[in-house]
Amino acid sequence: MSIYRNAVWFVKGLQEYTKCGYEAAAKHFTPADLDVNLNGRSFMITGANSGIGKSTALEIANRGGTVHMVCRNQGRAEAARDEIIEQSKNQNVHVHIVDMSSAKQVWEFAQNFSQNNSVNVLINNAGCMVTQRELTEEGLEKNFATNTLGTYILTTALIPALKKVEDPRVITVSSGGMLTQKLNVDDLQFEKGTFDGTMAYAQNKRQQVILTERWASQHKEIHFSSMHPGWADTPAVQSSMPEFHAKMKNKLRTDTMGADTVVWLAVSAATTKQPSGLFFQDRKAVVTHLPLAWSRSSPQEDEKLQATLDQLANKFKP
């Protein structure tokens, strides 16, 4: 079944996820959707010092929004912030140094941030693809810790703050790679069998889509969405998937193309006309399973995922 999923997904990707796929979809975009003044609205973006996160931060700063860049590397984050300020002429761009793979750090940051700041939109963009099984200092598999648990803790911790503001939104940058995976709730940290970093990443991205659906059903006051940016030429793709990048680099989207739907979901009035909890690609809600792929999990499995994450997250709560 995994061979079938991978084959169908790759063909789909060649048609839809490339630069050409974006250009075809963009012919149907409504330019006025992004013609907004974001003055007075606050946006938190994880992994904002490069790639899609940085492009998203710049687009929001260009429209007057306050940007909170949550990054791991202080030097790169400050350089990116200075560049965004210079290009946008918007001084309201702030850096917060947080390692999203550290559950304790994420909790502490979210709690401190909520006491001193407001946030209208959370954009869960940070991610990693570690190709060898590696544990964090807290003893967690690194892909899972960053992509799933870190995202879960930050979102959960900020939900009370989000409920206090007007038009709150949460956007999680997932990946079309999740279409190749069925949720495996019994091995969230890939302790069984041979470790495959690409599979682990795709499994994390499936988890993010399921969490988005569950949060949407549980917190009606907030608009949740997940999305696929397409195959973009980002530093993360270059470092984590060098062979894929080498073969596909002329077909890959730019950072700005990859960020387009993130920005649209974050700022457009059209977004909230869509139901909460959907998965988007090129400004359209799309299906979360390939045809005949047998990748759907049961409601009980989805519930177990959230319960397991909640239990694990609370172990690290200050």
How does DSSP assign 173-218, residue by residue? E--GGGGG----TT-TT--SSS--HHHHHHHHHHHHHHHHHHHHHH
* Paired tokens of 223: 């608009």
**Residue 201 counted as domain residue:** yes
The pLDDT assigned to 125 comes to 98
How many residues are there in the chain? 318
The pLDDT assigned to 236 comes to 67
Residue 104 has pLDDT above 90, yes or no: yes
Greatest distance between any 2 Cα atoms in the chain: 51
Question: Which residues are catalytically annotated?
Answer: 201
pLDDT band at 277 (very low <50, low <70, confident <90, very high): very high
**Residue 175 counted as domain residue:** yes
Mean pLDDT of the 178-198 span: 95
CA separation for the pair 209, 214 (Å, rounded): 9
Identify the top-confidence range among 5-19, 210-224, 227-241. 210-224
pLDDT band at 6 (very low <50, low <70, confident <90, very high): confident
Q: HSE-up of 31 (CA within 13 Å, CB side)?
A: 1
119 φ, ψ to 5°? -140, 130
Domain housing 93: 3-28+38-315
Q: Which residues of 179-207 are buried (b: 16+ CB within 10 A; e: fewer)?
A: bbbbbbbeebbbeeeebebbbbbbbbbbb
**Residue 33 counted as domain residue:** no
pLDDT band at 41 (very low <50, low <70, confident <90, very high): very high
The pLDDT assigned to 234 comes to 72
Residue 38 has pLDDT above 80, yes or no: yes
Residue 1 has pLDDT above 60, yes or no: no
Q: Is 45 helix (H, G, I), strand (E, B) or coil?
A: strand
CA separation for the pair 149, 195 (Å, rounded): 19
Contact between 267 and 169 (Cβ < 8 Å) = no
The pLDDT assigned to 239 comes to 67
Mean pLDDT of the 183-190 span: 97
At 25, which amino acid appears?
Answer: A
Residue 49 has pLDDT above 80, yes or no: yes
Residue 31 has pLDDT above 70, yes or no: yes
**Residue 225 counted as domain residue:** yes
CA separation for the pair 143, 141 (Å, rounded): 6
Residue 262 has pLDDT above 70, yes or no: yes
**Residue 300 counted as domain residue:** yes
**Residue 154 counted as domain residue:** yes
* Paired tokens of 105: 């750090």
Residue 281 has pLDDT above 90, yes or no: yes
Percentage of the chain beyond pLDDT 70 is: 97
Mean model confidence pLDDT for the chain = 95
The pLDDT assigned to 8 comes to 87
Residue 156 has pLDDT above 80, yes or no: yes
* Residue, of 63 and 292, whose pLDDT is higher: 63
CATH number, domain of 222, equals 3.40.50.720
Residue 203 has pLDDT above 70, yes or no: yes
**Residue 302 counted as domain residue:** yes
**Residue 212 counted as domain residue:** yes
Number of domains in the chain: 1
CA separation for the pair 134, 143 (Å, rounded): 8
The pLDDT assigned to 241 comes to 67
Write the pLDDT tens digit of every residue in 55-96.
999 999 999 999 999 999 999 999 999 999 999 999 999 999
The pLDDT assigned to 250 comes to 84
Write the pLDDT tens digit of every residue in 219-254.
999 999 999 999 877 776 676 666 766 677 788 999
